Amino acid sequence: MTDPYVQLHRFLDRPLDIGNGRIPSRLVLAPMSKLGHLAFRQLLDEFGGCGLMFSEMCGDRAVSLGHRHMQSGFRFRVEETGHLVCQLFGSDPAVMAAAARRVAEAGFFGVDLNFGCAVKALCRRGCGAALLQTPELAAKIVTSVRRATALPLFVKFRIGWQDQASPAVELARRFEAAGADALTFHPRVAPDRRTRPPKWAYIGRVKEAVGIPVFGNGNVFSASDGAKMIAQTGCDGIALGRMAVAKPWIFAHWTIGQPPPPDVHRHTAFRLLRLIEQHYDPSTALRRFNKFAAYFSVNFRFGHRFYSRICRARSLADIRETLERFFSRQPQIVDRPNISLMR
């Protein structure tokens, strides 16, 4: 029997055509807010192996006005734009189109439309997953953006607001017909904040319904999980979210076969702290590192203690001191992450 890691490596280490673009591998960073930020993406680039990266959520109006430095989400390095997709949220087709044109001018690989975020503040504005309740408007946004740019166009979405596969399948068909080049599908209902396992079978239903690439997303924590998702769903690639944050070296390991060095946990923590400090003001940097630590802590036995110590830090100097103390005692690394710590 073939080892799951070998199976996964063979599948992921292949290029994939998306619209008029091509990515070198099929393991990508999932669109996330406050996690897929500029500093974290630079860390991913340093490790290597990531087929494509997605920015933080960017408001359509801010992007359309070119407010690159006013909105942390729309911040990027010129060196990364060729393999970076800008994740947009909004509910006005015209404004979303204007934002997409700005993204194209900045040299991004593609545009991603967020129809998956179920945070209440965003849904109250009719954005994110709220658009799944108005399929006509969601499709109109896709059409408007498609007309505005030739860049590869992605749509990330969930099952919907009821646990039924049929509406998600119909949405996938609508998005393809409206001009989407690829879909990232997270098979949970919109109100579910990971309280139940994702329904991978629904990914298979979506994949069968469309002719464009479909990235599966949700509860891939190991090479065995990744191999199972591909075998069970027929998806074209995997979008890693929480595990990408917990183990940023995972892309290089799974796609190019580069195992992490023994000191990878210490290196990752200190390197990201330096990068966050470089790119953000102290207050924002502190919040960004705390957010990262919630996921990074799953690597350790008694990771909740590590996370609580980071949360008690009141400055970046405090965080650095906490890290020094923590790693000086050679923490125990767990084989499988403690997912109960992942929020």
For 216, other C-beta atoms within 10 Å of its C-beta total 29
CATH hierarchy code of domain 4-256: 3.20.20.70
Q: Pick from 155, 154, 158, 173: which is nearest to 123 by CA?
A: 158
Taking a C-beta distance cutoff of 8 angstroms, is the pair 98, 65 a contact? no
pTM reported for the whole predicted model: 0.95
Whether 311 sits among the annotated catalytic residues: the reply is no
Domain extent listing, the chain: 4-256, 264-341
Choosing from 50, 117, 123, 127, the catalytic residue is 117
Residue 242: phi, psi to the nearest 5? Answer: -60, -40
- Secondary structure in 3-state letters for 10-71: HHHCCCEEECCEEECCCEEECCCCCCCCHHHHHHHHHHCCCCCEEEEEEEHHHHHCCCCCCC
Paired tokens of 13: 């280490």
* Residue-level pLDDT, tens digit, the chain, 343 residues: 467 788 899 999 999 999 999 999 999 999 998 899 999 999 999 999 999 999 999 999 999 987 665 456 899 999 999 999 999 999 999 999 999 999 999 999 999 999 999 999 999 999 999 999 999 999 999 999 999 999 999 999 999 999 999 999 999 999 999 999 999 999 999 887 677 889 999 999 999 999 999 999 999 999 999 999 999 999 999 999 999 999 999 999 999 999 999 999 999 999 999 999 999 999 999 999 999 999 999 999 989 999 999 999 999 999 999 999 999 999 999 988 877 767 6
Taking a C-beta distance cutoff of 8 angstroms, is the pair 237, 215 a contact? yes
